[in-house]
Structure formats: structure tokens, C-alpha cells
Structure 1
Amino acid sequence: MTHWLDNLLNRITMYRLLLYVLMAYVAVAALFGLTGTLSYPALSVSVSAVFLVAACWLVNRVFAWAYHAPPHNISAYLTGLILALIITPYRTAADLPIFIWAPILAMAAKYIMAIHRQHIFNPAALAVVLTSLAIGKSASWWIASAPMLPVVLIGGILMARKIRRFQVALLFLATSLTMTLFYGISHHTNIVSTLREALVLTPLLFFSTIMLNEPSTMPPTKKFRLLYAVTIGFLSGPQVHLGSTFATPELALLTGNLLFYVLARRERFVLRLQEQRNVAMSTMEYVFQSPRKFSFSPGQYLEWTLPHHHADSRGQRRYFTIASSPTEPGLRIGVKFYPKPSSYKETLSHLKTGDEVVAGQIDGDFTLPKNPKQQLVFVAGGIGVTPFRSMIKYLLDMNQPRPITMFSANLTVQDIAYRDVFDQAEQKLGIRTVYVLTDEPRIPSDWTGRRGFLNARMIEEEVPDYADHIFYLSGPQAMVKNYEHLLASMGVSRSHIKTDYFPGFA
């Protein structure tokens, strides 16, 4: 039922969707101001948003020039819009200081409060905390109102669906509402009214779907993300205070940012292109040199930033799974190119040895199980084979046999990537790869692998005891969804199906 929604969301990146959602919030708020539904005049809402976005853009350009860094315009737009939705719209000259200082401090945080190019704090949250301390002006979170609730709920659902972070948002909400419930009970208030006010008149929904899930400050694995949500939910409780200072959403978020920066450290790296080569038809492998070694688990991914002029609507950032093993020098990614590529891939295709990209935000739970005896089935569609290349190369280098069968599905023989690694693993470790070709008219007459689309019969014949295996699915999202349904129809438990997903998949 959600297939059409996923198709729609996958046409744009996470950052672009967030931009549209925040713009929609401002537009609806201005409309409500025009009709009198909100107490803020439409002109005030609109002018405030335009000013803060323009100020963030300008300050960002200045800092980027000073730090010799690429300016990420969309990041500045997003911060400006968030500030516009949490700082009371401009009305008098007394409001001017926060409108000047908030964008300056937010953009400064992106450059000054960053270690190894990795943000520590949410820029918008840090800005309003600092303005509160310095000039006595802070966030009102005016977007938290009954008229705005439906649009914030819809936008929040779209964002959570896009980045697959429903659990994080819901766990935060559950923790925060539980704290509110205990507060209400201890103060003998009407529980229903207290919870209703918490949902409608406080920024919980906006905070949980927009602020909490910011990728650059989010911990890298599911375990840490859920703990992060619980921690910030607890800290945002109405009874939490330090002396006379009571918790606010921004203080709770900054505390969580700092705590989990220490517990689950993340970094960004400037990488230089060392080598590029064809690994299949229209598929290139790029090998980058890192200035220092950093740890990752086979199967994880990174956000790759490639600054270029005239970026299209999909922007300058992409998520690519690391195709190399932690045992190999350098970092490898495999990239499939199609006709009429995006501006990002067009720029990538023209990289020369020594050119630089920025990689960071290592993430992902699509990794090998700790139990080496657990039976596994890998299902790869096209270039979705990259996480399996990372895992299997790691097992080869560590000489670790595991009970794995892999199905590698491609259109033609020429589309098969990394066959050398998989064939070597079959010889040395007994990790068997079943190659499946789907473009029947172009299958060679001497082909000994499987023909047609992977189906239940193929799986049953190649892996008779498949019910005891854990299935790993990686490839185009439509393919992954189809195989999830196929495995479910075969009686495979949902807990035995792992899918490769990263934010902004499109």
C-alpha cells in the first residue's frame, strides 16, 4: 500500500525532501496567519523566513571562504528555515538581535564547533541556546500549535518514512510522554489534558521528526540511535532541571549531541582518488586514499560529498556502501552509471587521480552476524553487490569460512561485478555464489548459471534448508521489496530478513 509513496520519496534526496517539508510548514503558517488561524501575521512569518534563510546563506558563504571549504547551500537553507520555525516571527526592532545573531552562531557552529569536519552540535539548537545566554532571546518553538499539528504530522511521517527512522522518533516520543505522565501524576493534574497539551502545544512532533533525526549528529548504529532517543526523551521531561535551569528541547538535544559524540564518535575525511577501473558494464570502482586509518564494519556505508557547480535537485551528497574490506588499504566504492546521469555522477565520472572528496557519517547495521556458524543467504541485485564484496573480501583476508550462499542477479554476464572475489571465496572458503541472469535473449548459449528472475523454486533448489538461514537483501529498493514479499510467502520470518538501507536512498 505504501509502494507508491516510497516511489515518490525515492525520486528526491533526504535533504531535498526536508527542504520541501520545511518550506511547506512556512507556507502553511503564512496562510494561517493570513486567515487569522494563527496569531502571527503572514507578512511577519514570510519576511522572517526569507531573512533567516538569506542570512544563513550569506554567513555560510563567508565561513566557507575563510575555511577553504565547499559551501553547502542546501544546509544553510535548512538551518535558516528551522530557525524561522522556532524563533518567534519578527514584529519589532527589539527582535532584531536574535535575527542577526542566530544565523551567525548557527553557521559558525558548522565550522568552528566541528572536529575532523564532523559536527558535534545541532547548529540551530546551539544558536538559540547561545542567544538565550548572550542576549536573553531564545526559541519560542511557535510552530507547536493546534492549527499546525496536522501539517507537522504529515511532514514528519514523510521524513520518518524517507530515512527509516520511525523507531527513533517513536521511542523519543514514548520516553518524553512517559516523563510528562509521571510529572502530571505527581502534580495531580488531569492526565488526558496533560498528554494532549504535550502533543499539541509543545514541539515534540516537530522535534522528533526534524531536529532529532539530523544525520550529521545522529549516532551511527541502531543500538546507539535508540539509546540516543531515550536519553534525549528523558532529558526533555518537564521535571528535569539543573538548579533553576529547567530542560528545554534545545538543551536536551545539545546534551544528547555531546554525550553521543563521545560514546559513538564520528568523523569526516578528505579522501584523494587513487585509482578507478571498470568492474562491470557501465560500472566503475573508485579507490580513495585516506589520510589515516579509520574503523568500519564490512557492509556499512558513508555519506560522500562531491562539491560541483550547477548541482541538480539531488544535490552534492550521496550515500555509497563501502565496497572494500577493513583489511584493505584505501576505500572502495562501486558506482553504476546510467544514461543522463545526475550532476553528481557526471562530476564523479570526470574525477582524476588526486582529486578530493569528503566522506563521513559512517553508518549501517547491514553487517555480518557475530555467530560465525549462522547460515546466511545473500541476495544482490546489480551493484547492490558492494556490501557483499566488502564482507566476503574480509572473510577471505581473515581466512574465516562461513556457511553462505549468495545469489547475484544481473541482466547480462557483462553486468556481473567483482566475480573474481566471489569465485576466489568459493575456492578457498566454500562460499558459493549462484549467478542469475535475467535478460534471456542475451544469455550466452554456454551459460551454466541460473536464468530468469530469482524465484521460490530457485531458492528451494539451491538452499533446501532456507528456513534456517538469515537472508541479506541488497539492491534497488523495488527489488528488495519484491524479495521481501517473496521470502515472506515462503514462510521466512521477518526477523530472518535484513535489508540494506541508508538515508536518502534514491
Structure 2
Amino acid sequence: MTALLAAIATWRGTADRALGRLTPVVLVAAVLWIVVVAALVLGLLGLVPVEPGAGVLCLLVALVATFAGALVGGALVRARAEVESVITTGLIVFLLFSPRIATASLLAVAAAGLVAGASRFLIARRGRHLLNPAATGALVVGLLAGILDLAGAPVLAGPSWWIATPPMLPFVALGALVVAYRTSTVTVALAYVVAATVVRLVQFLSFGLDLGDSLGTILGSLPLVFAAGFMLIEPQTLPPRWWQRVLVAAIAAVVASVPFSWGPVYSSPELGIVVANVIAFGFGARRAIRLTVAGVERPGGNVVALALRPDEPVPHLPGQAIELAVPHRPRDLRGRRRVLSIASAPGETTLRVAFGLPASPSTAKRALAALSVGDRLVATRVFGDFTPPRAGTGTLLVAGGIGITPFLSMLRAAEPDDDHVLVYRSAEEAPPFLDELAALGARVVLSCPVQPEPLPLGWIWLGPGRFDADDLAAAVPGLPGRTAYVSGPPAMVATLAAGLRRLGVRRIRRDVFSGA
């Protein structure tokens, strides 16, 4: 078992480091390109019902139409389209409509792309889109196609979700897993797939099909995996808490899987996703959060801390994160969005965030570090479940480097009877935020190159270098009975989480800082 835990820790650390080099939106676009190329190659081999020439033409139409829709929609609201997001939407549109050199097919792809690109700006509230763009485009075109069919004018093709074919399942499933893992939405994607599979399985078994054939058809020929892994889990349209996400995933699956029709409206994956997006709107603050930089500090080492004053109060829980849109040019492949943990307690007038500036930072990190008092930023969402347990629960908070930030929020919001022990590892001789931790009266186990003098009362210095779970067990009495929160670089989080579980810690929460 120990060897298995070590292997899992190594794998997760490697995966977190590799995937953390790209922002989610860039990663999704890259994975979709792989899926598209695989589909075209399999079409050339005759394994997928796609003629490569028609596929390339429809792909170009989807991308051009989506960009056109985004440019028009952005111009109407005086906003700029994000290239990576538009490409992602265009690729998904291409995979939803059968690629044929026929007027009805080409018109459908073009119309879906235009609607999808424009909806990002026009179906929005205060700068934040409310519905998955590709699902919206597919739904609108499907409704129009149905209306035209009823009117005796079948000039528009509806969405076929042609990507759902058995030869493509390995590519789609692996890609969906990568995307869901990177965006921490594996549970959400699984909830959708499981719920839809159960509903469909009941239907298929009632038709007399055996279990194996039913599962093969459901997973190989229905678009459950693609819809879950590339559309439903879009972070911008999900609610902020995990249970809310699982609920809307189940609702989307039921709407997509329970057969019904009413005129041109019928059960479909795109309808399920849009319904889920509407419900998700009711769970969270679906508005852009406008911020003014009220302070810039260098608390130590390569860390930059920002105090951001919101135009309106921003509700949040201790340990949650905020996603900032950082306008800058030129941009590298890591994009313009950055997710930063909120270091301030709920109810404070400013939101405090901090980040490390590595030797080769992304262009977004450099732009953040160059901000001055008075500069303006927009945040797109506050979210996360890396939040403290109920009051009075004993917790172990393990921070590596800039992973200290969510714990600052938790400690600032702590109640008198909360039992928190913070383990803080830093490579800096003078680790950031030590004065703040001492002022908060936190119980701290510290690892850094040089022991602070004087060491605050009740603190323990573990010495320089790395520590493992056994070191923590020696320094923190009653360790197995505590709920552990581990936050920091991927390798540290994976290794310590595995070690703590080996020692009997049953409840472990993880928060990985990739440093991108």
C-alpha cells in the first residue's frame, strides 16, 4: 500500500507540473486540436464517417464564423474577444455538426459559429457570459432547423454530435480526463456521465439489449463523454461550490437523456448544458467584479502582494480563489487569466492576493507585478471548495511557498475555538507574512533556511530543507485526527498528501499552485 501511495503521489505531482504550464483555456484548445486532427486522420483511413476535404472546409467555416460572431458581439458591447476562447468554441462547433459539402451543413456550421461567438458577449451580464457558447450555437441552430423542417423548408442541418463514434472514444475520453483534471472538475464530469449512463441504461435494457451492448452504445456512440469533458465543465458557466456543480451536472444529464419533444424542442446534450448554465446562474454572482489596485507590496523574496478594492462588496469564503483577467500585450501561450487565492478574510473592504514571481514568469504575471495604485482590473469569478471545516474541527494547514495565501484568509477569519496548526515551508531566509502570522496568534511549525530570532512563543522551527509526513507527525500531536489541508507546488502537495494518508490522516484537501 505504501508503494502504491508513493506511485500515485509521483504520478499526480508529474501531472500537476506538466499540465500547470498551460492555463486551462490554452490546454483545452490544444487538446481539441489533437481530437480534431485525430478525427480527420481516422476519416482519411475510413474509420470515421468524415471525408477529409469536407472536414477541413467545415473546420475553416466554423473557425471563421465563430471569430466573426465574436468580433461583432464584442464590438457591440465594446469588448475584445479572447483568441484562445474563440478558437476553442470554433473547434467544438466543428465537432457538433456533420462535416459535409452541402448547403444545409455549411449553413448550419456557419450559423452555429456566428451565434456561439456572439453569445459570449451578448448573452452576458456585466462582462461575464452566462451560457456555454458552443452549446448555445448548437441549440439555436437546432431549433431553427426544427422550425424550418416543420414549415417544409429543410434548408438547415441540426447538430449531429458526429464526434461520438467508437473509434474516437479513446481520444475524447483521454482528452476529457486531462481537461477535467486540470480544471479540478473530474467529479462534475463523472456525475454527468454516470447520471446519463444510468438513465440511458434503463432505457436500453427495457428495449431488450444486453448490458454489454448497452454500455458500448451509450459510451461509444452517444456524446456523453465529449459533452461532459469539453462543454459542461467550462469554468465560466459553473456554479462556485462542488455540490452545486454536481447537481447541475446531474440535471444536464437528465435533460439530455430522458426522451421528450415539443415541436422543435427535444431532449439533447446542448439543451441540457444550457439548462444547467441557467440554473448555475442562480447559484453564483454572475457578474464581472471590477477592482482598483489600492496597494502593492513586496512582503519578501519574489512575492508580490496586491490590495484590490472592489467597486461592490465581493462575498467569499476563507480559502476561496478569484480569477483575474489581466489585460496586456503581447501575451504568451499561458493566456491572460490568473487564478489567485484570496488572502483576506470575508468582510474586509479590500481583497488581498499574493503571487510568486519566478525567474521566467508568464507575461500575465509580469503584467500583474507591474501594476500600480489606481490601476483597474476585472475579475470573472470567485470560487473554490478549499474552505475550512466546521468550527472547532482540528486542522493541519500545510503550506509550501506561496501556498500560504489561502491559509492567511482562514486564519484571519478563524473563531476563538478553532484549532489550526500551520506548517509553513519557505525557501526564503526571511519568509513572507511571518509578522502577520505572529500578530494573528497562529500556531506555526516553520521550515526555512534560517531560524527567525526571536522565534514567536509557541512556534516550532523544523530547520532548513524539506520535511516529510513523519516530521509532521513528530511536531504535531494527534495528527491522524486532524483534517489536513495541503497547499503549494505540485510535487510537495502530492508527496505530503500520500504520506499523511499513510499515517492515518483520513480527510485531506489539496490546493496546487502551478506557478504559471
TM-score by length of 1: 0.91
Name the CA distance, whole Å, in 1 between partners of 2:195 and 2:261: 16
Q: Corresponding residue for 2:152?
A: none
Counterparts in 2 of 1:454-469, with a 5 A limit? 454-469=467-482
Name the CA distance, whole Å, in 2 between partners of 1:183 and 1:165: 28
Q: Does 1:223 align with 2:243?
A: yes
Name the CA distance, whole Å, in 2 between partners of 1:89 and 1:154: 23
Give the deviation of 1:473 after TM superposition.
0.8
Worse overlay, 73-82 or 404-413: 404-413
Give the deviation of 1:202 after TM superposition.
1.2
SS of equivalent to 2:322: strand
Equivalent residue in structure 1 for 2:71, among 61, 66, 77: 61
Name the CA distance, whole Å, in 1 between partners of 2:454 and 2:417: 30
Equivalent residue in structure 2 for 1:421, among 436, 445, 449: 436
Name the CA distance, whole Å, in 2 between partners of 1:346 and 1:501: 21
Q: Does 1:108 align with 2:128?
A: no
| Structure 2, unaligned runs of 5 or more | 1-6, 147-156
Q: Corresponding residue for 2:142?
A: 132
Name the CA distance, whole Å, in 1 between partners of 2:224 and 2:470: 48
Q: Corresponding residue for 2:330?
A: 310
Worse overlay, 150-159 or 292-301: 150-159
Give the deviation of 1:243 after TM superposition.
7.1
- Which amino acid counterpart does residue 413 of structure 2 have in structure 1? Y
Give the deviation of 1:386 after TM superposition.
0.5
Q: Deviations over 1:373-410 (max 9, x none)?
A: 11111111111110011111123xxx634111111111
Q: Corresponding residue for 1:393?
A: 412
SS of equivalent to 2:440: helix
Q: Corresponding residue for 2:487?
A: 474
Q: Does 1:347 align with 2:367?
A: yes
Give the deviation of 1:219 after TM superposition.
1.5
Q: Corresponding residue for 1:451?
A: 463
Name the CA distance, whole Å, in 1 between partners of 2:104 and 2:264: 26
- Which amino acid counterpart does residue 488 of structure 2 have in structure 1? G
SS of equivalent to 1:319: strand
- Which amino acid counterpart does residue 64 of structure 1 have in structure 2? G
Worse overlay, 320-329 or 152-161: 152-161
Q: Corresponding residue for 1:72?
A: 82
Name the CA distance, whole Å, in 2 between partners of 1:275 and 1:59: 38
Counterparts in 2 of 1:289-368, with a 5 A limit? 289-368=309-388
Q: Corresponding residue for 1:488?
A: 501
Q: Deviations over 1:307-331 (max 9, x none)?
A: 2112111011111111111121121
Name the CA distance, whole Å, in 2 between partners of 1:169 and 1:241: 26
- Which amino acid counterpart does residue 475 of structure 2 have in structure 1? E
Distance 1:245 1:404, change over 3 A: same
**Does the CA contact (< 8 Å) of 1:34 and 1:41 recur in 2?**
yes
Name the CA distance, whole Å, in 1 between partners of 2:184 and 2:282: 24
Name the CA distance, whole Å, in 2 between partners of 1:176 and 1:497: 30
Q: Does 1:433 align with 2:433?
A: no
**Does the CA contact (< 8 Å) of 1:32 and 1:42 recur in 2?**
no
**Does the CA contact (< 8 Å) of 1:85 and 1:142 recur in 2?**
yes
Give the deviation of 1:185 after TM superposition.
3.5
**Does the CA contact (< 8 Å) of 2:289 and 2:311 recur in 1?**
yes
Worse overlay, 269-278 or 1-10: 1-10
Distance 1:156 1:86, change over 3 A: same
Q: Deviations over 1:221-268 (max 9, x none)?
A: 111111122111222224345578431111111111112212344332
Q: Sequence identity of aligned pairs in percent?
A: 28
Name the CA distance, whole Å, in 1 between partners of 2:502 and 2:409: 30
Q: Deviations over 1:76-98 (max 9, x none)?
A: 00000000111111412333322
How big is the alpha-carbon RMSD for the aligned residues of Structure 1 and Structure 2?
2.2
**Does the CA contact (< 8 Å) of 2:325 and 2:338 recur in 1?**
yes
Name the CA distance, whole Å, in 1 between partners of 2:261 and 2:280: 20
Name the CA distance, whole Å, in 1 between partners of 2:474 and 2:213: 59
Equivalent residue in structure 2 for 1:147, among 152, 163, 167: 167
- Which amino acid counterpart does residue 50 of structure 1 have in structure 2? L
Equivalent residue in structure 1 for 2:397, among 358, 362, 378: 378
Distance 1:407 1:5, change over 3 A: closer
Name the CA distance, whole Å, in 2 between partners of 1:342 and 1:57: 26
Q: Corresponding residue for 1:34?
A: 44
